[in-house]
Amino acid sequence: MEIREFGIYGGQFVEGEILKAIKEVEYAFEQYRNDPTFLNEFHDLLKNYASRPSMLYYAKRMTEDLNGAKIYLKREDLNHTGAHKINNVLGQVLLARRMGKTRIIAETGAGQHGVATATACALFGLECEIYMGEEDMRRQALNVFRMQLLGAKVNGVKMGTKTLKDAVDAAFYDFATHLENTYYLIGSAVGPHPYPLMVREFQKVIGEEIKVQILEKENRLPDLVVACVGGGSNAIGAFYDFLNDTEVGLLGCEAAGKGLGTKLHAATMTLGKDGVFHGMYTKFIQDDLGQVLPVYSISPGLDYPGVGPEHVHLLESKRASYIAVTDEEAVYALRYLSKMEGIIPAIESAHAVFGAMQKAKTMGKDQIIVINLSGRGDKDMEELSNY
Ligand SMILES: *Cc1c(COP(=O)(O)O)cnc(C)c1O
């Protein structure tokens, strides 16, 4: 039976031992996704370990300066480990424990997902191995050190371009060859079913909280929710609870890097083509022969050549729209938010800040924008000072 959960997008394009491993995850997820004991444990961890709910902050100076829509920031940067990634990691580690797995593996690009995974494994005393391209290990030496400090083993990947794409391949191979004790913890709303759906379920708490908090503060829903899109997990987490509230606009901001006219971008929604990649049917940046091309962004979290299939479905069905924001625009927005509100966002999140700033100017003062601030900017200071 073929499943395509998101219109024609999604699916489970894997074979052999990998399919067997993925099926085991799928059955476990179906068993526990609505299990009250499982969900209680998950929400207890979100509250007492990750420090949720994250606050919804009214950006007063920014609002006054832009002189348009009222702007709120959903402060995922205040979560333990400094980003939204911890939500998904805690959910999947709980599932792996239910499945009786004792060893967790994960891929990482810049190291942010690796650090979040190593954190949750430390919390539960699970063995943890992270696959990371050797080129990325060199560029992100500090995160390699963090993961090791947290007790994880970091495996350098020597294949291909020695970056994220190759780390994913290595992790799938490990998964297929260590079925008995190992769980593969994917870091974004990507990969074969059930991962895109499961990661969304573990991240949808962001949008659910936004809804409660904005109703409390404004007694109405926002006109627009804005989030950055790499693989798409923080964006789908922020959007999901609003999908049926069609008066709420949804805007995803992906990385235009050095410009859409160059080869140095990661604008999958804008310039990608349909195809199969990493086990899913989605859009990805490819050449005419369907080979995945290298992508680029100043944000380590946004330079992935594919995108979560649910976003492509939201684009095709016109429920959400997507724009591409350049490095230069993102850096501008990062500096702007830092000076205007005393909040230094992650360079990924700054893509959403820029998109929202453009929209805010065109909207009325009676309108409301919520920006999902996916993470804090400390990790980007070295890159930024070089820029
Ligand atoms: C990893 C990361 C992203 C991109 O991942 P998504 O799955 O698209 O959310 C965005 N912001 C921050 C702070 C990240 O660490």
> Is 85 labeled as catalytic in the residue annotation?
yes
Q: What is the mean pLDDT of residues 154-165?
A: 91
Which residue out of 107, 129, 201, 341 is catalytically annotated?
Answer: 107
168's CB contacts (< 8 A; 6+ apart) are: 107, 131, 191, 278
What is the chain's mean pLDDT, rounded? 96
Q: What is the pLDDT of residue 2?
A: 63
The answer to whether residue 3 scores a pLDDT higher than 80 is no
pLDDT tops 60 at residue 1: no
* Cα 180 to ligand 1 centroid, rounded to whole Å: 30
- Compute the average pLDDT of residues 259-277: 96
What global pTM score does this model have? 0.97
For ligand 1, pick from 84, 325, 379 the residue to mutate: most ligand atoms within 8 Å of CB: 84
Ligand 1 centroid to residue 345 C-alpha, Å: 12
Residue 239 dihedral angles phi and psi, to the nearest 5°: -80, -35
pLDDT digits (tens, 9 = 90+) for 113-129: 999 999 999 999 999 99
